[in-house]
Each structure stands twice: as structure tokens, then as C-alpha cells.
Amino acid sequence: MSRSDLGNLSSNRPSLVELYQLLLSHYGHQGWWPLLRLGASRQNPTARGRFTWYHPDNYTIPTAETDIFEIMVGAILTQNTSWENADKALGNLHLNGVMNIKGILNSETDQLAEIIRSSGYYNQKAIKLQNLAKILYRTPISKLASFSMEDLRSFLLEIKGIGPETADSILLYGFHLPSFVVDTYTRRLLLRMGYLDSSATYKTIQALFHSEIPKEESIYNEYHALIVQHMVHVCKKKPNCGDCLFQATCAKVIPPSPPRKKSRKKKTTRKKSSGKK
Ligand code: SF4
């Protein structure tokens, strides 16, 4: 059993620990963060994504600076878009030979924007990537790896184009630091299941996870990925509650609609023509 397994379930209404355990036993290890170089492994438990691949139950990845850089780039590319669109853009950066700090710095901004077009907001994202590359050129990833979690989070949040969700994704998946990632999926799931009210901020949601879940990188890694998996496939904008493992305990479960009654066709009687002109 890996550290990402938290032991046995205990009660009917899931605590956040139990919610995690239920998700993990239902969907299995998700293998985040997917990386281009793992293409040969042909593993994708998420059934999403095209170019990049996964490493289920292996939390030692990433180790190389090139991997960490790819995760930082991916975290920016996936802002306000699906992972499918972001990983097409990552694949294009790779195909164009610019998936590295110098490659991004030396590209014309409009050419870079064209390469990452599939990720949406590509002009803004090209500027964000060049900004990130400029900063990493001055302060290399190897130096960032020696920062404390708090210092690195503050450093990342100072970078234009990096907000709390992107910063936490980079800390957790790039630098193996236990900072829980809160995204719209997390908020929607917790709201629907009755753990939050709609006024909860990023900070309060993150604090809730930090106080209830052991501060283990592997657990935070898996938990966020599992929430995404559940929300993409089942608890969508229009939730598919009939297929949901939480339907017995969820506050917002939508019961299946009753079968439609067959509408009776009105009998139409045609008047016989009298034949008169
Ligand atoms: S029961 Fe429905 S609303 Fe609740 S978590 Fe499941 S899919 Fe979402």
C-alpha cells in the first residue's frame, strides 16, 4: 500500500479523508502530472489528453529540471481551458523545439502565440511564458528547489500571470511540496456535496484541506487529480448523478427523471369530399 492510501472508511457521511478514499478506490491512482517524455509508457488512467502520459502510483516524478519546467509551462497553458487543449500546445512547443527556457525566450512572441494557439488566450499566454522564462533564466529552477514552500509560493505569486491555483499546481506537481490545489472543480464538488457555502474563498477551501488531510505530497497530488477525474466524467455542469458514487450522501443529488409518458396522438378525421365543384 502506498502512502496515498489512507486506510479504512468508517462512517456514512464522508469526511474529507473518506471522500478521498472513496474516490481513490473508485478511480484508482491517476499518475499526475503527465509528461511528454513518458509517451512510451502508454499509460493514461484519466482517459484524457493526447500527447502526454501518466505515471500512476509513482510520486518520485518529476526529478529533472526539464520536467519541472514543462510542468510550469503546462500549469500556465491549462489556465481557463481543458487539459486536452493545453497538451496539444505542449506537444507543439516540443515539436517546434522550443520547450525550454532559451527556446521560449528567443521566440518571437507572435510565433510563440501561434504555436500555443490551441490553449486559448494564446497572445496573453505567450507573454506569460516569456515572462516566466525570463525569471527562470535569472533564478534557475535548481535555486528555486532550495526555497521553503512559503517562500517559493510567494515568489511564484509575484510572477505576472501566476495566481494561487497555478502557483499551488507548480508547488505540488513540480516541486513535491504539499500545497493543496483548489480549482473550480474542487469548489463545485464541495458546494454540491454540502461542505461549503458559495462565499468560501480559495484560502478558506485550501485551509479546510490543509487542516483535515495529512500534509503529504502524494495524497494532495492524488486527491486533486481524483477530483478532476470525477468532475470531468460524472459531476459535470449537468451532473450525471445516476452514475455517481456519492449519490447516497450528496446534498445536491439530482434524482433520475421519471420516464416520459407517451403522448397520445389526436385522431384526425378527414371530411369526405362532396365532389361538388
Ligand atoms: S450526486 Fe450528483 S451532484 Fe452529487 S457529487 Fe455526484 S454527480 Fe455531483
> What CATH number corresponds to the domain at position 225?
1.10.1670.10
Evaluate whether 228 touches 183 at the Cβ level (below 8 Å).
yes
Q: What's residue 12's pLDDT?
A: 64
Instruction: Identify whether residues 78 and 156 lie together within a single domain.
Output: yes
Do 165 and 186 reside in the same domain of the chain?
no
pLDDT tens-digit profile of 27-53?
999 999 999 988 877 788 888 887 788
Q: Is 112 in the pocket of ligand 1 (CB under 6 A)?
A: no
Spans of the chain, pLDDT less than 50: 1, 8-11, 269-277
For 124, which DSSP code?
A: H
Same domain, 197 and 167: no
Of 141, 175, 209, which residue sits at a domain end? Answer: 175
Q: Which of 150, 175, 200 is the last residue of a domain?
A: 175
Distance CA 202, CA 199 (A): 10
Ligand 1 contact via 227 beta carbon (within 6 Å): no
| Confidence (pLDDT) at 215 | 95
Indicate whether 146 and 197 sit together in one domain. Answer: no
Among the residues of 6-64, which ranges form H helices? Answer: 16-27
Residue 239 and residue 132 in one domain: no
Asked whether residue 15 falls in the same domain as residue 75, the answer is no
Distance 209 CA to ligand 1 centre (A): 20
Cell numbers for 131, please give them: 515572462
23 lines ligand 1 (CB under 6 A): no
Residue 49 resides in a domain: no
Asked whether residue 48 is domain-assigned, the answer is no
In this predicted structure, what is the pLDDT of residue 267? Answer: 52
249 lines ligand 1 (CB under 6 A): no
- State how far the alpha carbon of 106 is from the alpha carbons of 96, 100, 144, 158, 230, in Å: 13, 10, 22, 23, 40
CA of 236 to the centre of ligand 1 (A): 8
Which residue, judged by its Cα, is nearest atom 8 of ligand 1? 235
CA of 100 to the centre of ligand 1 (A): 41
234 CB within 6 A, ligand 1:
yes
pLDDT of residue 51: 78
Give me ligand 1 centre to Cα 34, in Å. Answer: 27
From 188, 195, 250, mutation site for ligand 1 pocket: most ligand atoms within 8 A of C-beta: 250
Q: What is the domain range of residue 238?
A: 1-32+180-254
- Same domain, residue pair 158 and 187: no
83-138: per-residue pLDDT in tens? 999 999 999 999 999 999 999 999 999 999 999 999 999 999 999 999 999 999 99
Residue 231 Cβ < 6 Å to ligand 1: no
What pLDDT is stored for residue 41 in this prediction? 74
Q: What is the DSSP string of 36-51?
A: GGGGGG---TTS--SS
What pTM was estimated for this model as a whole? 0.89
Cell numbers of 208, please?
479546510
Atom of ligand 1 nearest to the CA of 189: 5
Q: Which three cell numbers stand for residue 104?
A: 521560449
Residues 140 and 164 in one domain: yes
Q: Which of 175, 190, 211 is the last residue of a domain?
A: 175
Same domain for 147 and 205? no
Residue 266 lies in a domain: no
The x, y and z cell numbers of residue 87, run together, are: 497538451
Are 79 and 153 within one domain? Answer: yes
- Give the whole-angstrom CA distance, residue 152 versus residue 146: 9
The per-residue pLDDT for 266 is 54
Evaluate whether residue 38 is within a structural domain. Answer: no
Q: Do 118 and 151 belong to one domain?
A: yes
Listed residue (34, 41, 97) closest to 67, CA to CA: 34
Instruction: Count how many domains the chain has.
Output: 2
- CA distances, 275 to each of 3, 89, 147, 269, 271 (Å): 89, 73, 98, 18, 11
